[in-house]
Copies of this chain bind each other. A is one copy, B any other.
Amino acid sequence: MSVRTLVSDEEASAEVRAVFDDIRETRGSDFINNFWRALAHDPLQLNKVWEELKEIMGPGTIDPVTKEMIYIAVSTANGCEYCIHSHTAAAKAKGMSEAQHSELISIIGMAGKTNHLVTALQVPVDDVFKAE
């Protein structure tokens, strides 16, 4: 149902193939998911988005499972079906337990609720919360 066809390995240019190779090596898996195949019509954009994702989701001060849970949280609030599926799969692959998944969903649901309550009431920000 994409608005663009998905680029297969056979159709991939040398530039696209290089990114696909790096995705495969970085992830230790032969699988290239549809997101990259849809982006591949624009090799430069494919390369930039992959480099950015690799860096931001790579080692840092937040652990890999937490990073995926944050990604699921944003994607849920934005209603991005594909992103919820792909990052839930990634979170599980990186060690998110069933109990953590349930707890994550509870927090997302609670945040969705209080976001709506606060907005409907237009609660003013407390002075102590402001940086300046």
A17 at the interface (CB under 8 A from B): no
Q: A13 contacts the other chain (Cβ, under 8 Å)?
A: no
**Which of chain B's residues has its CB closest to A130's CB?**
B1
Q: Is the CB of A118 within 8 A of B80?
A: yes
A74 touches B115 (CB 8 A): yes
A26 CB to nearest B CB, Å: 16
Once the chains bind, are A78 and B132 in contact (CB under 8 Å)? no
With an 8 A cutoff between CB atoms, is A70 at the interface? yes
Cβ-defined partner of A38 (8 Å) among B56, B61, B107, B123: B123
Pair B120/A76 contact, Cβ less than 8 Å: yes
Docked Cα-Cα span, A25 to B125, in Å, equals 22
Inter-chain contacts of A28 with B (CB < 8 A): none
- Using Cβ atoms and an 8 Å threshold, which residues of chain B touch A106? 42, 45, 56
> In the bound complex, do residue A74 and residue B76 qualify as a contact, i.e. CB atoms below 8 Å apart?
yes
- Which A residues form the contact surface with B (CB < 8 A)? 1-6, 31, 33-35, 38-39, 41-42, 45, 48-49, 52-53, 56-57, 60-62, 66-67, 69-86, 88-89, 97-100, 102-126, 128-132
